[in-house]
Amino acid sequence: MITQSLSLTVSPEIGKVSAELIIPDHPICVMTLAHGAGAGINHEFMVSISKSLAEKNIAVLRFNFPFMENQKRRPDTPAVAHRTIEAGIKKAHELFPSLPLFVSGKSFGGRMSSQYLTTQPAVDVKGIIFFGFPLHPAGKPSVERAEHLKSVDVPMLFLQGAKDTLASNDLIEKVCSSLDLATLVTIEGANHAFKAGKKDLMPILADSVLFWVNQQIRDGAKLDYN
């Protein structure tokens, strides 16, 4: 397993952001990983899930959004976030042109990634993984943030904590059941940060991603063959 520090150019106007790539010895696919609104690429969750996925032979490219790179509190506008995700996807394709590509994100990063996919339906992505989709603000249940998911035309995996205050169980189940391409995995006892007491949930998350990714790769191979 190899870890590399990288720099992504988002655009001449926006500038560059830091990134880190973890490459397993025999990668089956590559995945971009966008962070949430409150912590960047060096946050414990981002580092831990990246390593856990790499141990499952999934190469992971995680990157900062410009607001985090520049140590600002307010998250970037969707337009800037989308450009950053696009830069990550292009870099992943450039580094691993023959591997299937998946996009993923923690909370805000996942929502921005799915929004980006609705604006670029032709982009070569095999699926998207949400590590805690932020369906609504805490204490304000609603489904408006999920409206754009109807326009996402690739398979979606939702990994949601059963105690996630940003996605009540009944509403996230309702959203996922309305989407033909969605798979929902509920992590019992977990909150939005995927904390459940002293239990280490990284193996559960990584196993769930690996099982789903293998399904998408197999299904894609069948489609190509036919």
In the prediction, which pLDDT does 220 show?
66
In the prediction, which pLDDT does 225 show?
42
In the prediction, which pLDDT does 221 show?
54
Give the Cα separation of 47 and 220 in Å (integer).
29
State pLDDT tens for residues 91-114.
999 999 999 999 999 999 999 999
Give the Cα separation of 208 and 11 in Å (integer).
34
Give the Cα separation of 178 and 190 in Å (integer).
24
- pTM comes to 0.93
In the prediction, which pLDDT does 223 show?
47
Taking 50 as the pLDDT cut, the residues of the chain under it are: 223, 225-226
In the prediction, which pLDDT does 14 show?
93
DSSP-based three-state secondary structure for 32: strand
In CATH terms, the superfamily for domain 2-225 is Alpha/Beta hydrolase fold, catalytic domain (3.40.50.1820)
